[in-house]
Amino acid sequence: MVRAELSKLLGLPTAWIGLALGLIAAPALVLVNTPGMRQAIESGEVTDLGYENLGIGLLGALILGVVAVSSEYTSTGDDAPGAHQMTTTLLAMPRRSHLLLAKGAALSFVVAVQGALTASATVLLTQVMLPDHAPPFEPARVAAAVLYWTLLGLLAFAITLIFRNGIITLTVFIVNSSVVSVSYLLTKLTPWAAYLPDIVGAHMFLRTMPGETHIAPLTAGLVMTAWVAALLAAASYLFTRRPA
Amino acid sequence: MIRIDRVSRPRILHEVSFEARPGRVTGFLGPNGAGKTSTVRILLGLDRASTGTATINSQPYAALPRPLTVVGALLDGSGAHRARTARAHLRWLAASNALPRARVGEVLETVGLTEAAGRRAGRFSLGMSRRLGLAAALLGDPPVLVLDEPFNGLDPAGILWMREFLSRCAAEGRTVLLSSHLLDFPVDDVVVINRGRVAAHGTLAEVQGDHGSLEDAFLALTGAASW
């Protein structure tokens, strides 16, 4: 079943857009951002060099998490507007909880492989570009970034499953992570907002974060896992009970 | 063997019961909105009945370990994501039920889509979409076929092909249940549903009774004669 879900996910052009974006964005940012980073070095604000560029790689994980579900619910054609692939999926794999496990596993695997490649490339590229200032390659921190992406992919997966529509998830996450971070603004109101899933996760691999709250990487990881687990539980509760 | 036993859903189905037996084409007939699709979806585990049971070879659909090897189902549309090629669609389906990959080529050949195997499902004509749906249904060489309005969207040649194909399946000993609002195909057994209730159930001769033809029987049973 996992093999079927892998083949399904990797057979989608949109999934490859997610993969390409995820792979390219963070290393590209290193290249573009090098002059900026030099300035930052001169003014003495360097702690997360290389690692801070990893944040943008989450786009790939988000897109993959969304399309893994939204592709099931897009109309198969104009002649049958109500028909979608999920019907075929459920006919082939009618045990819905098993299906979700297989889907989640396939998604996590793809995001993790992509994340490992991107994160290593980004950090190594920073060392090439700024050999004197780049922090050492820390496998644990890279692994934390990969875990962050995987959890974020699953988060997007769960939210899309709840709404059965990818646009909502993508809008919320992209607006929140690029245009204006509502979560970040909330941290100005209450320190508890730092525990929102998208912010807390970054504490897993960044040492300096905007905002006052400092959260230990392990705590951050656990809090984010709890968020993802809760949303996945809600999504699978709905999915196993709703008509297809 | 398909058994629907007192299946109900509020306002849609009322104690619907019938059987479809191996080696026979069972026509599940009724006007639009009579409850055909709801019954089929409950049988396939896509929707739930509030009471009653629907089983295939004595098991509910969701309990079948590799359902594609037991039941082939054709519902609305192609069932494939628009961006996927016909071949890629059938490949993941084969993987999901541990079916040999070679089946993909075989079923594409059966439904006459070999040439179009590399084209995206979203570019298929209505008739090709139905053929792709049928190819998916045949992938596991299932002894039971459940088809919801299989003639929809087919051109005359396609309808002729489908009719012969279904008769051949029944002759091979398969159980064929097909819902339709049309009556123009060979059936052995007939179930007439109207407003969520079974109006008649039996062999073609039994349901026709004194009405002379299946059309007349259907119109009398469903009260659609005012047309």
Q: Where are the domains of chain A?
A: 2-181
Q: What is the pLDDT of residue A45?
A: 58
* Higher local confidence (pLDDT), A133 or A127: A127
- Kindly tell me if the per-residue pLDDT of B76 is higher than 60: yes
Q: What is the pLDDT of residue B137?
A: 96
Please say whether the beta carbons of A4 and A105 come within 8 A.
no
Q: Between the ranges A41-45, A207-211, A239-243, B173-177, where is the mean pLDDT highest?
A: B173-177
List the single residue in B75, B93, B124 with the smallest CB-CB distance to A92. Answer: B93
Q: What is the pLDDT of residue B227?
A: 45
H helical segments located in chain B: 36-43, 86-96, 102-110, 126-138, 156-171, 204-208, 214-222
- Kindly tell me if the per-residue pLDDT of B109 is higher than 90: yes
Name which of B127, B113, B145, B124 is nearest B81 in CA terms: B124
A44-58 mean pLDDT: 66
Q: What is the pLDDT of residue B226?
A: 47
Residue of A nearest to B97 (CA): A92
Instruction: Say which CATH class B1-70+143-227 falls into.
Output: alpha beta
Q: Rounded to whole angstroms, how far apart are CA atoms B174 and A139?
A: 58
Q: Rounded to whole angstroms, how far apart are CA atoms A14 and A60?
A: 10
Please say whether the beta carbons of A77 and B78 come within 8 A.
yes
List the single residue in B48, B80, B97 with the smallest CB-CB distance to A76. Answer: B80
Q: Which two tokens stand for residue B35?
A: 């409850």
List the single residue in A76, A82, A94 with the smallest CB-CB distance to B81. Answer: A76
Show which residues on chain B lie within 8 Å of chain A, measured between beta carbons: 41, 44-48, 61-62, 64, 67-68, 71, 73, 75-85, 88-89, 91-93, 95-97, 121-122, 124, 126, 129, 136, 153
Phi, psi of A214 (to 5 degrees): -105, 125
List the single residue in B48, B71, B81 with the smallest CB-CB distance to A85. Answer: B81
**A73: which residues sit within 8 A by CB, 6+ positions away?**
A84, A85, A86, A164, A165
**A19: which residues sit within 8 A by CB, 6+ positions away?**
A60, A64, A110, A114
Q: Rounded to whole angstroms, how far apart are CA atoms A8 and A87?
A: 14
Q: What is the pLDDT of residue A207?
A: 67
Residue B175: strand pairing partners: B144
Chain B hits for A4, CB-CB cut-off 8 Å, are: 92-93, 95-96
Q: Rounded to whole angstroms, how far apart are CA atoms A184 and A194?
A: 8
- Kindly tell me if the per-residue pLDDT of B165 is higher than 80: yes
Q: Residue A138 in 3-state DSSP?
A: coil
Report CA torsion sign: A147, A120, A21, A111: negative
Q: Rounded to whole angstroms, how far apart are CA atoms B93 and A93?
A: 9
CA angle B222, B226, B227 (to 5 degrees): 95
Residue A204: strand pairing partners: none
Contact across the interface for B76 and A12, Cβ inside 8 Å:
no
Show which residues on chain A lie within 8 Å of chain B, measured between beta carbons: 1, 3-5, 7-8, 11-14, 71-72, 74-77, 79-80, 82-85, 87-95, 243-244
